[in-house]
């Protein structure tokens, strides 16, 4: 969700952004298939929000990392709650196609993809990085969508290096 918000901020107020890091996100609008799936999950959330979490967890991380991070993912989701989940899904369904606006991004940009991200495949992040002049694409191996939890040292290192370069 953060990437979608960042792209909208850049579209509306790019002068307020010095640098940009986009992790496990893309610039496309929601596909009809994705919207249908979101609506199914939203209906399920109204009946059984914990079941939504259980349904999504296998898509968020690699099998290798699930045992160590599924508890943290569950706690975060429950902490945000059903109402926040529903608002996020409605916002994602209604988001615009940001691809036409990528060329206007002029700040230093790092795009981080995860090799095994089932939700945001690397090719979508490649498209994002190629649309932004001078953007750097980094691919985190052995990770799914939750790269900051699955490979925290690698993600932190990429962000630290990127911040140091932008000074």
Confidence category of residue 167, pLDDT binned at 50, 70, 90: low
DSSP calls for 116-143:
T-SSS-HHHHHHHHHHSTT-EEEEESS-
Minimal CA–CA distance to 69: which of 126, 150, 3? Answer: 150
Query: What's residue 25's pLDDT?
Result: 95
Q: What is the pTM of this model?
A: 0.92
Query: What's residue 34's pLDDT?
Result: 95
Tens digit of pLDDT for each residue in 13-28?
988 999 999 999 999 9
């Amino acid at each position: 969700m953060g990437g979608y918000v960042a792209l909208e901020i850049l579209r509306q107020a790019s002068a307020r952004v010095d640098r940009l890091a986009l992790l496990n996100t893309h610039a496309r609008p929601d596909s009809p298939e994705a919207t249908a799936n979101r609506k199914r999950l939203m209906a399920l959330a109204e009946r059984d929000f914990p079941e939504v979490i259980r349904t999504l967890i296998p898509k968020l991380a690699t099998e290798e990392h699930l045992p160590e991070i599924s508890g943290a993912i569950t706690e975060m989701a429950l902490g945000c709650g059903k109402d926040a989940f529903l608002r996020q899904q409605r916002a994602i369904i209604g988001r615009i196609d940001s691809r036409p606006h990528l060329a206007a991004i002029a700040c230093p940009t790092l795009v981080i993809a995860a090799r095994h991200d089932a939700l945001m495949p690397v090719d979508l992040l490649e498209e994002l990085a190629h649309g932004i002049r001078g953007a750097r694409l980094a691919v985190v191996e052995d990770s799914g969508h939750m790269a900051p939890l699955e490979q925290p040292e690698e993600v932190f290192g990429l962000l630290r290096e990127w911040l140091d370069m932008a000074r």
